Structure 1
């Protein structure tokens, strides 16, 4: 009877002190994977599971989980795998790059390359990604933008500093200047620049015959006008009554047009200065045909003895001269 009591007590102590097994495999991890397959639960108390890093990650130390009374617990030191570094992705000539994914050059990071203004990317991919075995693909390559060759305009030529070849491509920023042969004028841009988009800033200009059209001359007219005038031909003109030519009564046809420009200006007379007398009406200026009446002081008379005391504004000034002289 005593033996049966001891047996029952021993069975109770054994069952009460027994620790539970783990019913699930070791926990799944993002960066780590168990070093062996765990697919036959349960796992007794005290079972240990070690982990290795997934591709693209490196292990700073031991990573191990242990089954403790039915639950998996990570054993110290508690750590995890870190992203594998790829180092600097490499610079590209005539361009730059920007880190677009991640904050460091480690596994999973992505850098995108851009070419400087006036350069274009020749590589199919403009990016590099930090992968498990290092940076993907080669460093993208940037090449200077080219513009198509240009031909000299008819009756003209290309002027360019330094030696150059016809039918050559031009690089971004290069400038081509144009000139026309004698008796021709340039119509369009005198110079064109190879732009950053690979196009010329302007079309190639033209060289056209130098011709001058008959000008419209307000308050004037052209003598024997022609349909057009060639370079160095002279145009002659006159002004209507009350007007006179501005600089000359003729103009020369040049590459830039008529020289000097033909125009007529209204004839005006300034108020005269009459010593020993006065005049009326007194105005700031007088047009052709306007007259003034002159009154000389006592003892003086009008210089021009015409029998009248008036003077008229003409194309040659005041007629007669408005002046008082001593009798």
Structure 2
């Protein structure tokens, strides 16, 4: 009733003083984060004209913002202002938590990001939410226990730590690998762990036949394979070395053998010239 009484008083003043005393209202009131409703904009304003303000995008007002011209100046009909739209307190999720990554106080434009606790992984498409006019966008994300998928286990490989039938490879689960035969060598990590992102710490290794790499040699040295055959150099195979020219002597082992660990029994020798005594 108070507002209506105030409007009636203002209208009574307009009628009492008449249009001769009404100079009109010129400059429009300036409000932060608000604009005059387009339908009420005019070139000149006189007694009794009203203005209504609308909040800018992202801002809200608890009451309607309006002014009335008393013939000389604009009078605000009631106290109100446009403030950033506020969202409710963000919801927590099991096995996870959120943090503010943009903005503050959970008002319009504030973005929060959810992360999972160690041992859990995000299964939702979106891990963030932003405060909009209608509230928080996106759905609450979900964190599930981290599990790893088993990879293909190659032939002739032994695995320690496999779970029981139907059980999962959960976060922290470890697998140890070794080769089933003596003449095989493990290529890859001997132990791997299921990580919190659902990935193994290393790829599953393989057991391969033991071979040694044939290194490059100098031009003045002759290398003979024993047995003399093409292909990979296998466990137990030998290399025999000799010098190409007279006056050179072999420095190092004459014969080296491919060992079970895939390494040579000794370094490659070199051919050097004889030194004067």
Corresponding position: 1:86 with 2:84: no
User: Larger relative CO (CA 8 A, sep 6+): 1 or 2?
Assistant: 2
Query: For 1:10-29, what aligned pairs fall within 5 Å after superposition?
Result: 18-23=21-26, 26-27=28-29, 29=31
State whether residues 163 and 169 of structure 2, in contact with CA within 8 Å, keep that contact through their aligned partners in structure 1.
Answer: no
Q: 1:221-240 CA deviation, whole Å, 9 max, x = no partner?
A: xxxxxx949xxxxxxxxxxx
Partner in structure 2 of residue 112 of structure 1? 113
Give TM-score, length-normalised by structure 2.
0.53
Shift of residue 21, structure 1, vs aligned partner:
0.6
Partner in structure 2 of residue 163 of structure 1? 164
**Aligned-partner SS, 2:39:** coil
Cα–Cα, structure 1 residues 200 and 112, in superposed 2: closer, same or farther, change >3 Å? closer
**Aligned-partner SS, 1:37:** helix
Cα–Cα, structure 1 residues 204 and 42, in superposed 2: closer, same or farther, change >3 Å? closer
Shift of residue 87, structure 1, vs aligned partner:
0.6
Gaps of 5+ in 1: 1-13, 212-226, 230-254, 257-327
Partner in structure 2 of residue 177 of structure 1? 176
Give the distance between the partners of 2:58 and 2:209, measured in 1 at CA: 74
Give the distance between the partners of 2:125 and 2:40, measured in 1 at CA: 45
Cα–Cα, structure 1 residues 157 and 61, in superposed 2: closer, same or farther, change >3 Å? same
Shift of residue 59, structure 1, vs aligned partner:
3.1
Shift of residue 199, structure 1, vs aligned partner:
4.2
Query: Larger Rg: 1 or 2?
Result: 1
Shift of residue 65, structure 1, vs aligned partner:
2.1
Cα–Cα, structure 1 residues 108 and 199, in superposed 2: closer, same or farther, change >3 Å? closer
Gaps of 5+ in 2: 1-16, 212-234, 238-259, 262-277
Partner in structure 1 of residue 40 of structure 2? 38
State whether residues 146 and 170 of structure 1, in contact with CA within 8 Å, keep that contact through their aligned partners in structure 2.
Answer: yes
Query: For 1:160-309, what aligned pairs fall within 5 Å after superposition?
Result: 160=161, 162-164=163-165, 170-181=169-180, 183=182, 187=186, 188-196=188-196, 198-207=198-207, 228=236
Cα–Cα, structure 1 residues 143 and 88, in superposed 2: closer, same or farther, change >3 Å? same
Cα–Cα, structure 1 residues 175 and 150, in superposed 2: closer, same or farther, change >3 Å? same
Task: Give RMSD over aligned pairs.
Answer: 4.6
State whether residues 152 and 178 of structure 1, in contact with CA within 8 Å, keep that contact through their aligned partners in structure 2.
Answer: no
Cα–Cα, structure 1 residues 67 and 86, in superposed 2: closer, same or farther, change >3 Å? same
Q: 1:202-243 CA deviation, whole Å, 9 max, x = no partner?
A: 3434446899xxxxxxxxxxxxxxx949xxxxxxxxxxxxxx
**Aligned-partner SS, 1:200:** coil
Give the one of 67, 72, 83 matched to 1:65: 67
Aligned residues: 205
Shift of residue 46, structure 1, vs aligned partner:
5.1
Cα–Cα, structure 1 residues 123 and 43, in superposed 2: closer, same or farther, change >3 Å? same
Give TM-score, length-normalised by structure 1.
0.46
